[in-house]
Amino acid sequence: MANSIIREKTFEKELDCAGDNPIFVIGVDEAGRGPLAGPVVAAAVCYKDQSFHIPEDLKKNLAQIRDSKKLSEKQREKLFGFIEEYFYTGVGIVGAETIDRINILQATFLAMKSAAAALKKQLAVSQQKIKKDMYLLIDGNQLIPNFSYLQEAIVGGDDSVKSIAAASIVAKVTRDRIMSVTDKKYPGYGFAKHKGYGTREHMDALRRLGPCPIHRRSFKPVWLSIPDNANRSFSGILKPRKK
């Protein structure tokens, strides 16, 4: 009975989706839709054993995988290594320039498509039979448009579906690492600390230094930080501020 309870709480949704069908059930989530700077990062992951059997020695770590926002940085880093070992993973990264050009929602979808494509390559490298369909469980209320794979959007999926929670950790850790490296390239903004979110420290630095190349100029706080004599019309997304 105990094993059954752990199994159901861990991969209940994945088991329901898979049934007896030859499919890979994959969790998809993103990190970085809200920040004023840096990329949006998506991750697609699936548990390596698609029978969803859980050996006794993995149960503790699997039980700890949950929404990345509910974990400390130290916990996320530890689980990231565990996920890389026991899940196939694919990551998609879309930078600020593209976000400004196509908007953050479309950039998020693009990152998710890239993550799924990267995961498919991982499955091929592992000699899995790619003739199997991929069934994507996506955190949120929107499906990826113009995408050929089977999909299901799940509101609060990062809190209720283990594969999506694992994807949220991979996306968050990957993005945080990118921002920590970026902090060294563009010092003074505090990217390693706030990861590009609009904290008071970040806003003060933005007003003092102006935007750097990784700032999202289509986001209003960044746009408003640009001097009046600068070009603030970004591909028609934004219009110059009225005086």
The answer to whether 215 touches 37, Cβ cutoff 8 Å, is yes
Give the residue-averaged pLDDT of 34-58. Answer: 95
Residues facing 90 on adjacent strands: 44
What type of residue is 20?
Answer: D
Report whether pLDDT(66) > 80. Answer: yes
Structure tokens at 222: 């960044």
Can you list the domains of the chain with their CATH numbers?
Answer: 2-185 (3.30.420.10)
Q: What is the pTM (predicted TM-score) of this model?
A: 0.88
Report whether pLDDT(4) > 60. Answer: no
Of the candidates 55, 79, 82, which has an alpha carbon nearest to the alpha carbon of residue 66? 79
Burial class, 238, CB count within 10 angstroms (exposed 0-12 / middle 13-18 / buried 19+): middle
Span 99-117, pLDDT tens digits = 999 999 999 999 999 999 9
